Structure 1
Amino acid sequence: MKTLYFDCVSGASGDMVIGALIDAGADPAYLKEELKKLGIESEYDLAWKKVNKNGITSTKFDVLLSEKESSHHHHEDGHSHHHSHDHGHLHDHEDHHQDHTQDHEHHHDHNHAHHHRTYMSIKKMISDSTLEEKVKSLSIAIFKKIAEAEGKIHGMPIEEVHFHEVGAVDSIIDIVGTAILMESLRIDKVAASPVPLGAGKISIDHGIYPVPAPATLEILKGVPLEKSDVRAELVTPTGAAIIAVLAEEFGGLPSFTVESIGYGAGTRMFPSHPNVIRVVIGNS
């Protein structure tokens, strides 16, 4: 049985997961071609490169937004994140992850010139595509996990949950991309370590929120967590949903023969530990 183990050394985000899968041998050229089936390739480009995180060579995966998109986006902020990126507000965790997810909230009161993608419209985009059925169902399951959490936190049905336009592009690529690569690797079973969430507070549109953010913690119900003293947000909603949906069991490394190992890098550098997620693939 081919098993994949997520070792959440420094939390999880969508871009870190894809970086780790590419590092472990998944084909980024295949990923790029398959993602074209969504019909939004004019909105982004993909980039991946080797970087060094505290002595570990790892793969950094980036979603580069097109001019039209990036005019609403401060890419250099490390992509701060989901909860507020709308007006380029930076949250003190310059993050780690480029996971602009969700965003729910502001869409109700800002009539920006740019549109917002809803969970339902993203679900339809995936369903109507020519992606493999397993890729579609896995992608939709991950998006649904986020939408349910956001809906619960903000007190709205999932049909009304919105993803900020820029956040939606990152999230779509990270989530559908993860599903594409997992299917391409023909993984039979997924396990994961307990998840460290980080500590401290982040500043978002609604004010100063605790780490983990409410939606992230909601997504991770039922998932073993690990105490972490790192003063940063280590897990994004997208990263949380990928782990929560994919992993069937949690604990240490399973009993198996290791075939390949990959490291996916986050944006930030931490003084005392590498900002990576490790993927270990083996046969049992």
Structure 2
Amino acid sequence: MRTLYFDCFSGISGDMVIGALIDAGADPLQMEEELKKLNIDEEYNLSWGKVVKNGITSTKFDVILTSKSEQPHEHSHTHGHEHSHSHETEPNHSHAPHNHHGSRTYKQIVEAINEANLNESVTNMSLAIFKKIGEAEGHIHGLPLDKVHFHEVGAVDSIIDIIGAAILIDQLGIESVQSSAIPTGSGHIHIDHGVYPVPAPATLEILKGVPIASNVIRSELATPTGAAIATVLAEKFGTLPAMTVESIGYGAGTKTFENHPNVLRIIIGKIQ
């Protein structure tokens, strides 16, 4: 069985997942084409390229929002070594759930995914991950699912990170997913609502039932998007399973830490 293992020794975020999948040999151009089916491609450009994190060559993936999008960012963007891919396309507003006040509702995102004509496996993965985040946000803010707005995580960023990851996992023919325990980091972060402890409430809610690894790093290591991707897709959490390794990918995070590389490692192989 073709298995993907998330080795989250430095946490997990949506952009790290996509960077690692590209690094492991997935095709980002095919992903970019598939993402156009969502009809929001005038709102962003994608870029990816190799960076070195504490001695490890890894792939950094970024969603660069255009002026047509006013959503806040989940992560800051660096443009050191990237190869930017930008395509001018005719804006198509027929299905696009546009809302330029910096948020999209959970309902709008579900409609956009259902109308996008992505294949069944990508659609199901994407909907399940968004539902996980939507339920967690709803639980924290005391809102029913259809009233949940995506603004904190940066609506466009999370749409691209989640659906992009689903496209690449499907493309690679992954049949099962496992993950290490998830380190969340510690300390405090500044978010829309003020100063919050790490892990942020939504991240912790998403990780209910999942083993969390202790980590001394005073920084947010797992984002809601990264936590939801791992929680929804992984059937099992633990050490690396016995497998014949076929490919390995390193996805770079935005932050740099003194004593270890801020990368997500994915290991793809066959389990007998």
Taking structure 2 as the reference length, what is the TM-score of the superposition? 0.88
The CA deviation at 1:130 is: 1.2
Equivalent residue of 1:69, what SS? coil
Match of 1:138 in 2: 125
CA contact (8 A) 2:105 2:149 kept: yes
Residue of structure 1 equivalent to 2:6: 6
Gaps (5+ residues) in structure 1? 80-111
Counterpart mapping for 1:146-157 below 5 A: 146-157=133-144
8 Å Cα contact 2:53-2:262 kept in structure 1:
yes
Give the unaligned 5+ runs of structure 2.
Answer: 78-98
Identity %: 64
- Deviation sequence 1:34-79 (CA, Å, 0-9, x none): 1011111111111000000000000000001112225x6579x726
1:251–1:113: structure 2 CA closer, same or farther, 3 Å change rule? closer
CA distance in 1, matches of 2:200, 2:234: 21
Size of the aligned set, in residue pairs, is 250
Structure 1 residue corresponding to 2:165, chosen from 173, 178, 188: 178
The aligned residue for residue 44 of structure 1 is 44
Change (3 A) 1:276 1:165: closer
Query: How do residues 186-201 of structure 1 correspond to structure 2 at under 5 angstroms?
Result: 186-201=173-188
Residue in structure 2 matched with residue 35 of structure 1 by the alignment:
35
Q: What do you get for the CA RMSD once the two structures are aligned?
A: 1.7
Q: Is the 8 A contact 2:152 2:191 kept in 1?
A: no
Structure 1 residue 2, shift from structure 2 partner: 0.3
Give the match's secondary structure for 2:199. Answer: coil
- Secondary structure in 1 aligned to 2:154? helix
1:252 paired with 2:252, answer no
> 2: distance between equivalents of 1:25 and 1:113?
35
| Distance in 1 of aligned mates of 2:104 and 2:186 | 30
Aligned partners of 2:38 and 2:113 also within 8 Å: yes
Q: Alignment partner for residue 249 of structure 2, among 239, 262, 268?
A: 262
Measured in 2, the distance between the counterparts of 1:69 and 1:49 equals 23
Calculate the TM-score normalised by the size of structure 1: 0.85
Q: CA deviation at 1:205?
A: 3.0
Q: Distance in 2 between matches of 1:126 and 1:62?
A: 21
2:94 matched to which residue of 1? none
Give the CA deviation at 1:133: 1.0
Question: 2:230 is matched with which residue?
Answer: 243
Please list every run of at least 4 consecutive aligned residues from structure 1 whose deviation after the TM superposition is greater than 3 angstroms.
72-75
Change in Cα spacing, 1:39 to 1:133, as seen in structure 2 (3 Å) is: same
Partner amino acid for 2:267?
V
Aligned counterpart, 1:53: 53
Structure 1 Cα separation of the partners of residues 263 and 3 of structure 2:
20
Shift of 1:203: 1.9
Give, in whole Å, the separation in 1 of the partners of 2:100 and 2:191.
21
- The superposition leaves residues 78-135 of structure 1 with CA deviations (integer Å, 9 ceiling, x where unpaired) of 26xxxxxxxxxxxxxxxxxxxxxxxxxxxxxxxx963521000000000011100111
Q: Name the CA distance, whole Å, in 1 between partners of 2:147 and 2:199.
A: 23
Query: Mapping of 1:12-161 within 5 angstroms?
Result: 12-69=12-69, 73=72, 78=76, 114=101, 116-161=103-148
Residues of 2 paired with 1:218 and 1:147: CA distance?
11
Q: Give the counterpart letter for 2:51 in structure 1.
A: V
